[in-house]
Chains A and B, each alone.
Chain A
Amino acid sequence: MKLRIERAALLKSLQHMQSVVERRNTIPILSNVLLDASGAKLALTATDLDLWMVEHVAATVEQPGGTTVPAQTLYDIVRKLPDGAEVELVTETDGRLLVRAGRSRFHLPSLDREDFPLMPDGDLPHRFNLAAADLRRLIEKTRFAISTEETRYYLTGIYLHAAKTETGTTLRAVATDGHRLARIETALPKGAAQIPGVIVPRKVVTEMYRLIEGADDDVALSLSDSKIRAEFNGAVLTSKLIDGTFPDYQRVIPSGNDKMLEVDAKAFAAAIDRVSTVSTEKSRAVKIALEKGKATLSASSAENASATEELAVGYDAASIEIGFNARYLIEILGEIDGESAEFAFADAVSPTIVRDTTDQGALYVLMPMRV
């Protein structure tokens, strides 16, 4: 293999590769990136055996061929090369890879490309296109609620599915950790009506998000019961899905909450953050007392510190007092893009609904705390 390639293009692709590669591996070749040059392209592949990332980058190939080298090291080298450099990659007779740019030369050990694990075959029958911006929104506004508790593996991803609503079918992303829930929907893309409900693992969500960062084009998504593939700008990400059943989330979204509060999301979040400063417990609890036109936030600590703050709010229902984990509230309010957030309460021990007044496709549910 012998080729020349632009540093910037190689770096961008290697960035995707090294983030797929796990830091510690018991199988040495999983630390490596597979390089394969043919035609006018260099194909890079990285995997952790659940997720495969393949990316094609334009290159001047003088001699086709391939090898595998440590992904992290190659990434670090290319990262430190000067801007605008041209990188030359050559396999040497002793099996090592020569990396040359300007007056720098590096020799990297390689492992036989024949040993690099192949992506399992499989048909992905459902295929549809989604604007990168829409996919980004689905991920951005749900991923904070993904559970990190591995024993409830079926909550450690985003549940992606087509849902029927009064106004028609939509594409929905749902995530919950059992304490709060985020449900974001977008117009159903063509070809997605029949897709199975799938749970996309956290790592795939992260990699997918990284891939489409700042882009506007369409992403092609393909699905089967057990796999997902995202194709975007010459990169293909294929992964296994979480094999489990996502709980029937609709049952926990209350429909009868009638105490409505409308509040400036940013001001509310800032006030909660201020008030919760005094609480020293791990779970920073904040109490919200609502009466007509006014919300009083309060927090206290066992060491006798306390704080209160009053806000003028749009509230017209019966007085209520309810406690929440301040971090959960702030995280949800952080996802509100519009000016104001709309809260719907029932009582102090029932789920509360939070909506973005300018985005009817976003809905959050938060369980209160007993304080």
Chain B
Amino acid sequence: MPIRRLPDELISRIAAGEVIERPAAAVKELVENALDAGARRIDVTLAGGGQRSLIVSDDGHGMSRAELLLAVERHATSKLPEDDLVNIRTLGFRGEALPSIGAVSRLRLQSRARGAGEAWALDVDAGAVGAPAPAAQPGGTRVEVHDLFYPVPARLKFLKNARTESGHASDAIKRLAMAHPNVAFSLVDDERTVLTLPTTLGDQSEQRLERLGRVLGRDFADNALKVAAERPGVRLSGFIGLPTLNRAGAQWQYLFVNGRPVRDRLLLGAVRGAYQDLLARDRHPMVALFLDIDPADVDVNVHPTKAEVRFRDGALVRGLIVGALRHTLAEAGHRASTTVGIATVEAARPAFFHPGGNYGGGSQPRLADAMRFQAPSGMAAGRQAGYDAPAGRPEAVAQVNGSAYPLGAARAQLHTTYVVAETADGVVIVDQHAAHERLVFERIKAALASTGVARQLLLVPEIVELGSAEADHLLARGEELAALGLVIEAFGDGAVVVREVPALLGDTDLQGLLRDLADDLAGFDQALSLHDRLSEVCATMACHSSVRAGRVLSSAEMNALLREMEATPHAGQCGHGRPTYVELKLSDIERLFGRR
């Protein structure tokens, strides 16, 4: 078969395949266009998961008749005014979105340029551009995409069901919405309104928190810590969840570079590094971070859908993120997420109502919710009974003024396992073993950091065969590894020889350790495995030298434990992200008793 030039339509369809791989991608491109057009309100309507039709309308600055025609041509854009790929300040810039969508669907554009008296419409059918016709359209642009992928049956075959596809579309919108709290969004899916995000008020960080709360849930907003840090040319802001608010997957980590949602390994690795030894390996924090960086210092033109970016100084960005997050988390100190306390209350509620309750079957949480509203009048008698039969008197303890300390004054020890303390506005229950273990762990870690890791020299150096890329990765970070007690040298192509190991690891599996380290460096750019193993040893030592459950504590001991928890960073959770204490607010307790 002779070589021939492909027809233009085919080229367009191939190109479309890179940018528009599913309806959500079209949604993302169109919403980004709307944002770049300065819209204050963007409405998206989907049908059949966005495949049958998807409509994005905005109130941005719109397009004139001539611009409409240009917009559907490949590599035509309004977004690179100076032909400068270095200084990109808009979300889009490649000039590919509209022609790509047009090549694989029936596309209708309707727009009225700001200040113009007339609106124009333009149809594109599988790449064939029609003639502009007058249309009725208020200010802004409306893009309708029907029968997406109908000219490419292969792509159509690989679409998931409508539900999954609209889920992806909704995700794409949420991401963009988080970055633009001052723009109102709505999403209607098969005539059901699934997302309404009004414009937010206040300063930037209030706006953001408000928007994040709406998108990620109240939990996040209640348990978020504000992050703000700056280095020359880079600014990091946003919110991160307390370690006790963790998830099984990393998909709750939202990262934005100059307002553009990205899923970048360097950034995700930095987040992981910052939360290290606050969370178990398989738990992930929730974060929404916004990185503002001089556009000249970041290359967004790496990936067709711009999910990955490249930084000119990756180490600076990583350092900024890890440093800022660690600082923020350390400042939060012993704060544990309120979800724990609320969950406790919710768990206690049905059990509390059960004895007198007359409901049978049904879902408990919903009943509990219903009770919350019905309770006040009906429960008055029960409350009275509660007053008449006082429970066992708490152990009399030395007079510590509870309101003076965040974790309050110790009042009693229950089951020789839990310390109960009274605070200014609630009750704190501390798991004495978990709490003390964390304190000892932090102390051991601090000691290790101050003295350095003692290194055992190897009599028989261990040769570890790796790929040459992996070996280079490891060797390039030799100094950092040496500080952690691991000394390696190059040993021919693709192999390294281990000369010294951290003495506290003893006789250990070096092959496995080095392989894991090489993976870590390739994947996250950090020596996580080595940190992990050292921490593990510290954790075991901590576990053995901390107060066990079952040990009777005097009130002086209990108060000392509470004071030390307040003074120790990360004291709110044990090494696996489980809380070391829960706090029940007085208001929660009042709710339990139907006083609210």
Number of chain A residues whose Cβ lies closer than 8 Å to a Cβ of chain B: 35
Measured CA separation A370–B452 after assembly (Å): 10
Q: Does B459 lie within 8 Å of A179, measured CB to CB?
A: yes
Q: Does A302 lie within 8 Å of B451, measured CB to CB?
A: yes
Measured CA separation A247–B460 after assembly (Å): 8
Specify which chain B residues have a CB less than 8 angstroms from the CB of A179 in the assembled complex. 456, 458-459, 507
0/1 per residue, B504-529, Cβ < 8 Å to A? Answer: 10111111100000000000000000
Measured CA separation A365–B459 after assembly (Å): 8
Q: Does A178 lie within 8 Å of B458, measured CB to CB?
A: yes
Closest to B498 in A: A178
Q: Does A252 lie within 8 Å of B450, measured CB to CB?
A: no
Specify which chain B residues have a CB less than 8 angstroms from the CB of A178 in the assembled complex. 458-460, 462, 507
Q: Shortest beta-carbon distance, B300 to chain A, in Å?
A: 43
Specify which chain B residues have a CB less than 8 angstroms from the CB of A148 in the assembled complex. 507
Measured CA separation A218–B231 after assembly (Å): 78
Specify which chain B residues have a CB less than 8 angstroms from the CB of A157 in the assembled complex. none
0/1 per residue, B420-457, Cβ < 8 Å to A? Answer: 00000000000000000000000000111011001111
Closest to A371 in B: B454
Specify which chain B residues have a CB less than 8 angstroms from the CB of A176 in the assembled complex. 459-460
Q: Shortest beta-carbon distance, A176 to chain B, in Å?
A: 6
A281 on the interface (CB 8 Å rule)? Answer: yes
The listed residue (B459, B504, B509) touching A283 by CB distance below 8 A is B504
Specify which chain B residues have a CB less than 8 angstroms from the CB of A349 in the assembled complex. 457
Specify which chain B residues have a CB less than 8 angstroms from the CB of A285 in the assembled complex. 454, 503
Q: Does A181 lie within 8 Å of B454, measured CB to CB?
A: no
A273 on the interface (CB 8 Å rule)? Answer: no
B549 on the interface (CB 8 Å rule)? Answer: no
Q: Does B455 lie within 8 Å of A370, measured CB to CB?
A: yes
Specify which chain B residues have a CB less than 8 angstroms from the CB of A303 in the assembled complex. 447
A23 on the interface (CB 8 Å rule)? Answer: no
Given contacts A151-B512, A282-B541, A302-B450, contact A370 B460 (CB under 8 A): no
Q: Shortest beta-carbon distance, A284 to chain B, in Å?
A: 9
Q: Does A369 lie within 8 Å of B511, measured CB to CB?
A: no
Closest to B443 in A: A303
Measured CA separation A351–B451 after assembly (Å): 24
Given contacts A179-B507, A369-B503, A370-B500, contact A252 B454 (CB under 8 A): no
Q: Shortest beta-carbon distance, B88 to chain A, in Å?
A: 49
Q: Shortest beta-carbon distance, B223 to chain A, in Å?
A: 34
Which of A281, A323, A371 lies at the interface centre, i.e. has the most chain B CB atoms within 10 A of its CB?
A: A281
Measured CA separation A148–B500 after assembly (Å): 18
Q: Shortest beta-carbon distance, B140 to chain A, in Å?
A: 65
Specify which chain A residues have a CB less than 8 angstroms from the CB of B510 in the assembled complex. 151
Q: Does B447 lie within 8 Å of A283, measured CB to CB?
A: no
Closest to B540 in A: A282
A264 on the interface (CB 8 Å rule)? Answer: no
Q: Shortest beta-carbon distance, B441 to chain A, in Å?
A: 14
| 150-176 of chain A: CB within 8 A of chain B | 150-152, 155, 176
B537 on the interface (CB 8 Å rule)? Answer: yes
Q: How many A-B residue pairs have CB under 8 A?
A: 78
Given contacts A302-B448, A302-B450, A370-B500, contact A283 B506 (CB under 8 A): yes
Closest to B462 in A: A178
Which of B447, B456, B508, B511 lies at the interface centre, i.e. has the most chain A CB atoms within 10 A of its CB?
A: B456
Measured CA separation A144–B284 after assembly (Å): 42
| 244-302 of chain A: CB within 8 A of chain B | 247, 249, 252, 280-283, 285, 301-302
Measured CA separation A349–B457 after assembly (Å): 7
A227 on the interface (CB 8 Å rule)? Answer: no
Q: Does B503 lie within 8 Å of A151, measured CB to CB?
A: no
Closest to A281 in B: B504
Q: Does B512 lie within 8 Å of A325, measured CB to CB?
A: no
0/1 per residue, A331-362, Cβ < 8 Å to B? Answer: 00000000000000000010100000000000
Measured CA separation A249–B456 after assembly (Å): 18
Specify which chain A residues have a CB less than 8 angstroms from the CB of B457 in the assembled complex. 349, 367-370
Measured CA separation A351–B459 after assembly (Å): 7
Q: Shortest beta-carbon distance, A249 to chain B, in Å?
A: 8
| 473-515 of chain B: CB within 8 A of chain A | 500, 503-504, 506-512
0/1 per residue, B354-379, Cβ < 8 Å to A? Answer: 00000000000000000000000000
Number of chain B residues whose Cβ lies closer than 8 Å to a Cβ of chain A: 25
A13 on the interface (CB 8 Å rule)? Answer: no
Q: Shortest beta-carbon distance, A248 to chain B, in Å?
A: 9
Q: Does A370 lie within 8 Å of B454, measured CB to CB?
A: yes
Q: Does A177 lie within 8 Å of B507, measured CB to CB?
A: yes
Q: Shortest beta-carbon distance, A106 to chain B, in Å?
A: 39
0/1 per residue, B212-228, Cβ < 8 Å to A? Answer: 00000000000000000
Q: Shortest beta-carbon distance, A257 to chain B, in Å?
A: 14
Closest to A279 in B: B454
Specify which chain A residues have a CB less than 8 angstroms from the CB of B506 in the assembled complex. 282-283
| 99-153 of chain A: CB within 8 A of chain B | 147-152
0/1 per residue, B115-127, Cβ < 8 Å to A? Answer: 0000000000000
Q: Shortest beta-carbon distance, A365 to chain B, in Å?
A: 6
Closest to A150 in B: B509
| 302-340 of chain A: CB within 8 A of chain B | 302-303, 323, 325
Specify which chain A residues have a CB less than 8 angstroms from the CB of B509 in the assembled complex. 149-151
Which of A147, A247, A283 lies at the interface centre, i.e. has the most chain B CB atoms within 10 A of its CB?
A: A283
Specify which chain A residues have a CB less than 8 angstroms from the CB of B454 in the assembled complex. 281, 283, 285, 323, 369-371
The listed residue (A149, A155, A252, A281) touching B508 by CB distance below 8 A is A149
Q: Shortest beta-carbon distance, B275 to chain A, in Å?
A: 25
Measured CA separation A302–B447 after assembly (Å): 5
Measured CA separation A176–B510 after assembly (Å): 15
A180 on the interface (CB 8 Å rule)? Answer: yes
Specify which chain A residues have a CB less than 8 angstroms from the CB of B455 in the assembled complex. 369-370
Specify which chain B residues have a CB less than 8 angstroms from the CB of A152 in the assembled complex. 462
Specify which chain A residues have a CB less than 8 angstroms from the CB of B503 in the assembled complex. 281-283, 285, 325, 369
Measured CA separation A325–B456 after assembly (Å): 8
0/1 per residue, A228-257, Cβ < 8 Å to B? Answer: 000000000000000000010100100000
Measured CA separation A176–B509 after assembly (Å): 15
Measured CA separation A52–B14 after assembly (Å): 68
Specify which chain A residues have a CB less than 8 angstroms from the CB of B447 in the assembled complex. 280-281, 301-303
Measured CA separation A303–B509 after assembly (Å): 30
Q: Does A282 lie within 8 Å of B504, measured CB to CB?
A: yes
Q: Shortest beta-carbon distance, A178 to chain B, in Å?
A: 5
Measured CA separation A303–B444 after assembly (Å): 9
Specify which chain A residues have a CB less than 8 angstroms from the CB of B537 in the assembled complex. 282
Specify which chain B residues have a CB less than 8 angstroms from the CB of A181 in the assembled complex. 459-460
Measured CA separation A247–B462 after assembly (Å): 11
Q: Shortest beta-carbon distance, B21 to chain A, in Å?
A: 43
0/1 per residue, B147-160, Cβ < 8 Å to A? Answer: 00000000000000
Q: Shortest beta-carbon distance, B440 to chain A, in Å?
A: 11
Specify which chain B residues have a CB less than 8 angstroms from the CB of A301 in the assembled complex. 447
Q: Does A151 lie within 8 Å of B459, measured CB to CB?
A: no
Q: Does B512 lie within 8 Å of A367, measured CB to CB?
A: no
Measured CA separation A303–B545 after assembly (Å): 15
Which 5 A/B pairs are nearest by Cβ-Cβ distance?
A: A302-B447, A283-B503, A282-B504, A367-B459, A370-B455
Can you spell out 24 A-B residue pairs with CB atoms less than 8 angstroms apart?
Answer: A148-B507, A178-B459, A178-B460, A179-B458, A180-B459, A181-B459, A247-B460, A280-B447, A281-B454, A281-B504, A282-B537, A283-B454, A285-B454, A302-B446, A302-B450, A303-B447, A325-B456, A325-B503, A367-B458, A367-B459, A369-B456, A369-B457, A370-B454, A370-B500
Question: A interface vs B, CB < 8 Å?
Answer: 147-152, 155, 176-181, 247, 249, 252, 280-283, 285, 301-303, 323, 325, 349, 351, 365-371
In addition to A151-B509, A176-B460, 16 A-B residue pairs with Cβ atoms within 8 Å of each other are: A148-B507, A150-B509, A151-B510, A151-B512, A178-B507, A249-B460, A282-B504, A283-B503, A301-B447, A323-B454, A351-B459, A367-B457, A367-B458, A369-B503, A370-B455, A371-B454
